[in-house]
């Protein structure tokens, strides 16, 4: 039997969601035979989901992740109800934070921000197998 090629999960808006989501991604990648991109995919997911937890807070709303096995590899999406869009800027070299989106840009083939049919947006990244 073929494994599902789309996994959708919803998460509370808290830091605990990030390692839990990485665990779900790890399982999906193993099922899809994509364990070899686990490190990069986990970092990308961690950065996107952490941004949603920190900056995409909307009271009463959860954050959703979607992992899609594509013909070329993997698409990771993080949906939140906030209208606030992430901006990529290179931080000062001695900065402790702000490296998330530059890291996503480096590790993924492409990434972006898209409108949702409901409130908010989703940030996505595609990784090649």
The enclosing domain of 109 has a CATH number of 3.30.565.10
pLDDT at 95: 55
The answer to whether position 1 is within a domain reads no
In this structure, the dihedral spanned by the alpha carbons of residues 9, 78, 41 and 23, taken in order and rounded to 10 degrees, is -30
Tens digit of pLDDT at every position of the chain (129 positions): 345 799 999 998 888 999 999 999 999 999 999 999 999 999 999 999 999 998 877 777 899 999 999 999 999 999 999 888 887 766 556 655 556 788 999 999 999 999 988 889 999 999 999
Domain that includes residue 117, residue range: 6-128
pLDDT at 83: 87
pLDDT at 121: 94
The answer to whether position 123 is within a domain reads yes
Structural domains counted in the chain: 1
pLDDT at 1: 36
pLDDT at 15: 84
pLDDT at 89: 67
Task: Indicate the pTM of the whole model.
Answer: 0.88
Closest-CA residue to 49 (of 35, 39, 64): 64
Residue 76 CB-half CA count within 13 A: 28
């Amino acid at each position: 039997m073929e494994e599902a090629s789309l996994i959708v999960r919803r998460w509370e808006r808290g830091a605990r969601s990030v390692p839990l989501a990485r665990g779900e991604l790890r399982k999906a990648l193993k099922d899809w035979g994509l364990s070899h991109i686990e490190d990069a995919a986990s970092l990308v997911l961690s950065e996107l989901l952490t941004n949603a937890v920190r900056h995409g807070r909307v009271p009463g709303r959860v954050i959703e992740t979607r992992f899609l096995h594509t013909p070329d590899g993997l698409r990771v999406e993080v949906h939140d109800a906030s209208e606030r869009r992430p901006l990529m800027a290179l931080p000062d070299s001695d900065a402790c934070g702000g490296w998330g989106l530059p890291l996503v840009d480096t590790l993924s083939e492409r990434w972006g921000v898209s409108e949702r049919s409901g409130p908010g947006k989703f940030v996505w990244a595609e990784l090649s197998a």
